[in-house]
Structure 1
Amino acid sequence: MDEAATPAEAHDVLGRALTALQDLLGEEWEVSLQPEHQSEQFMPAPTADLGWDAVVRITSKNDSMFTELLVDVRGSVTPRDVAGYISSTALLVRRVNAYTRLVIFSPWISPRTQEELRRREIGYVDLTGNISLRVPRPAIIIQTQGADRAPARHRAPSSKPLLTGPRAGRLVRILTDVSPPYRATELAKRSDLSLPYVSRLLDTLEDQLLIERDGKVIVRVEWQQLLRTRASHLDLMKQTSPQGMLAPNGVQAVLDRLVKLNGLVAGGEVLVTGSYAARPVAPVAVGGQLMLYVTQDPLHFSDVAHELRVMPVPESADVLFLQPSDLSVVQRPRRYDRYRQVGLSQLVLDCLSGPGRLPAEGEKVLEFMAAEESAWRIPDISRLRHQDD
């Protein structure tokens, strides 16, 4: 039992998780604690110092064959926990008995942590229905999906910031767009964020195994998973206040106007995102709405509409004007095909957090980026300001 869970909380998690397993296995199986763990007040097992809190037996009523699970009850668990002592404990368990499994019980386990647990063949059960259990003898395979975001009642208070909000977006884009190594001080300077905030967010990213540090120097960034994780906290349609427009002469005519104006419209910049920006690098489908980030104040959207020869409509729009939530959204734009569009990292965030087929297009853009990393990633953070200028 970790320090974040009191004995009463651990007892509740243990009981509810055992009930969930029993319900999934059905009447032909019996799920029970070993005798030393059947008291009313949950107490850590004598073996808790080895990395688990309870021993659970699963018995087949048909042939009396059984397996034992060593359960680690935790108030919370991070990918870094999994990669560290949890993984070491699981390896020890398998060396002692190939048929015994370590299983993590927790109120909620994040998708990223689930991925790390499955990769290391460690079982888990959370109270929202995320369950993974594989036992070779007797043969048991359970895989269910619950909440991909922590319910409010299971959110542990933390001083570390999450990957939400515009400030986190600035740092995510720099970490993606620029190859390491670099330090927190350099990231704070280039992102115009406070050093304490950047340091705390980097701690969070390290816990999630999204970055790796050697001392104070970031030496590796898992940028694909970083973008996916950031996008999971976003909703493109909610955060950009889209305004629908109709293009009487068709979407292609709007693109032609953008090319002619070089993306500078009504005194501001207009950048393409969404499907039309993804298509030049990852053609998946045709059609769809033309999504445009408009840097002007929304009060001047009518001027932009006039220059692009579109008109506002309450529904059935084929063009959407989007408001960037932060200046970083439109930084480091790229020219693909004939028009200017958002940078690739921002494009992925927009697609993965967008509606319809956009997430699939975002994954295709990620594939392109992985194959052509040297072509788009800035090799040295000292060059970043020049790139932004």
Structure 2
Amino acid sequence: MEPLAEPDALTPDSLLEQGLAVLRDLLGPDWKVTVQPASQEVRSTRRRLDVMIQVKADGDSVFTQVMVDLRSRVSPRLVDEQLLPKLELLRQVSNYTNLLVIAPWITPRVRRLLQDYNIGYIDLTGNVSLRVSRPAIAIYAQGTSRAPRSRATRSSRTTLAGAKAARLVRILTDVTPPYRATDLARVTGLSLPYVSRLVEALEEQRLIRRDGRVITQVDWPDLLRLRAEHYDLLRHNSYVGMVAPNGIDAVLKALPAMLTEHSEWIALTGSYAARAVAPLAVGGQLMLYHPASAPRLPDEIGDELGLLRVDKGADVLLLRAHDPVVFERTVDRGGVRHVALSQIVLDCLSGPGRMPAEGEAVLSYMQGNTKEWRADRLPT
């Protein structure tokens, strides 16, 4: 297949051509994908954004019609407000006409939405989903999970990257609405213009719902997942690797006594913190946050816990917190300070190895026990 053009340079015709090339490659040579002739009215328009195609196997009289919706960008709001009404209209006309979205790139969240509504999609990085009952077609392929560089740069005005976004994500998760952007700015210490811009972006993504200016709903599970896509636990928090000569259990037993004297110093996160509420596996590295303001603190912590610095094979990581928000709403479990469940999820979803699975397990626990961890109102 020819190299893909840069997304910003794509015309509707080239987007259609490249998207159908992806489909034809996946179906193979025994299938035909034919663009149906457009009406005179459609041909007279300057931009062709909806195209009807026919898909059939060679030698078979059975075919399916698919309406292709060409988009430069697909958001959850667009799915709700435009694609779903279009799908409902198609279903009224014919149960055998399917809807397929072709775009340069489609985010993981939007792909999940489209799958839920049985709307097919193709993006030019190789993410594909198409299910047709007659003739039987079932295609699912995974391409790039992160936006190509050109699209990431273009959409970087308001994202969930950075410490400021982390503060807002944490408060939106940890506290039940209603509240306004002004309330969030006051509690987080962020500027109102920044909070307002990010709230608008989250509403576009259908991660929050508003009634006027009041936030009334937060899709906090997907909000945490999306924030984790912009966060890397071991890249955003510099760390010192250490080994526990007497084993991790000895370190865990020593922590309560240490924290009695230095309660503000460290907080447990990662696999061992996740295991306290959602046991999924054993082992893993013990991860402890410490404040960024004390560069010699890792050695002091290591001395008190009997740890030794190592370059490789560490079973304890002392993480220098990228922002004080990681210490917000910590909880005491058996004398050990644990980060909040929302922070555990963010750290695990963005961590190495099996940690993302542990993050999902904690997320499931949170969904079934919201009254145990989610505050009813913002702090005064």
TM-score by length of 1: 0.90
Provide the C-alpha distance between the structure 2 equivalents of 1:136 and 1:128, rounded to a whole number of angstroms. Answer: 26
Query: Structure 2 matches for 1:141-290, cutoff 5 A?
Result: 141-155=138-152, 157-158=154-155, 160-262=157-259, 264-265=261-262, 268-290=264-286
Partners of 1:87 and 1:268 lie apart in 2 by 50
User: Which ranges of structure 1 fall in alignment gaps of 5 or more residues?
Assistant: 38-42
Give the aligned partner of residue 3 of structure 2: none
Measured after TM superposition, the shift of residue 7 of structure 1 is: 9.6
**TM-score, length of structure 2 as denominator length:** 0.92
Distance 1:345 1:8, change over 3 A: closer
**What letter is aligned with 2:21?**
T
Partner residue of 1:17? Answer: 19
Distance 1:147 1:251 in 2: 37
SS of the aligned residue for 1:20 comes to: helix
Instruction: Provide the C-alpha distance between the structure 2 equivalents of 1:74 and 1:132, rounded to a whole number of angstroms.
Output: 16
Whole-angstrom distance in 1 between the partners of 2:8 and 2:355: 43
Work out the percentage of aligned pairs sharing the same amino acid.
47
Which of 114, 121, 124 aligns to 1:127? It is 124
- The equivalences for 1:354-369 within 5 A come to 354-369=351-366
Contact 2:267 2:339 in 1 (8 A): yes
Q: Does the C-alpha gap of structure 1 residues 353 and 359 become closer, same or farther in structure 2, counting only changes over 3 Å? A: same
Q: Which moved more, 1:5-14 or 1:159-168?
A: 5-14
Q: Which of 42, 51, 58 is the matching residue for 1:61?
A: 58
Q: Superposed, which structure 2 residues align to 1:232-381 within 5 Å?
A: 232-262=229-259, 264-265=261-262, 268-295=264-291, 296-381=293-378
Q: Which amino acid aligns with 2:111?
A: Q
Q: Which residue does 1:40 correspond to in 2? A: none
CA distance in 2, matches of 1:253, 1:159: 45
Assess if the C-alpha contact under 8 Å between 1:34 and 1:57 holds in 2. yes
- How far residue 316 of structure 1 moved from its aligned partner, in angstroms, is 1.4
Aligned 8 A contact 1:280 1:337 in 2: no
Deviation at residue 158 of structure 1 after TM alignment? 3.7
User: 2:268 corresponds to which letter in structure 1?
Assistant: V
Q: Summarize the Cα distance change of 1:44–1:269 in structure 2 as closer, same or farther, 3 Å threshold.
A: farther
Q: Please point out which of 9, 30, 36 is paired with 1:28.
A: 30
What amino acid maps onto 2:210 in structure 1? Answer: R
Q: What SS class does the counterpart of residue 11 from structure 2 fall into?
A: helix
1:325 shift after superposition: 0.7
Which of 93, 112, 115 aligns to 2:112? It is: 115
Partners of 1:284 and 1:71 lie apart in 2 by 42
Q: Which amino acid aligns with 2:287?
A: M
Q: Which AA in structure 1 matches 2:171? A: I
Q: Offset at 1:36?
A: 3.4
Q: Aligned partner of 2:104: which letter?
A: P
SS at match of 1:269: coil
Partners of 2:49 and 2:71 within 8 A in 1 = no
Residues 242-287 of structure 1: CA deviation (Å, up to 9, x unaligned):
211122222222222220122654x951101111111121112222
For 2:214 and 2:326, how far apart are their aligned partners in 1? 26
**Are the aligned partners of 1:160 and 1:201 in contact in 2 as well (CA < 8 Å)?**
no
What is the alpha-carbon distance in structure 2 between the residues aligned to residue 178 and residue 169 of structure 1? 14
Distance in 2 (CA, whole Å) between partners of 1:97 and 1:155 is 38
* Paired positions, count: 372
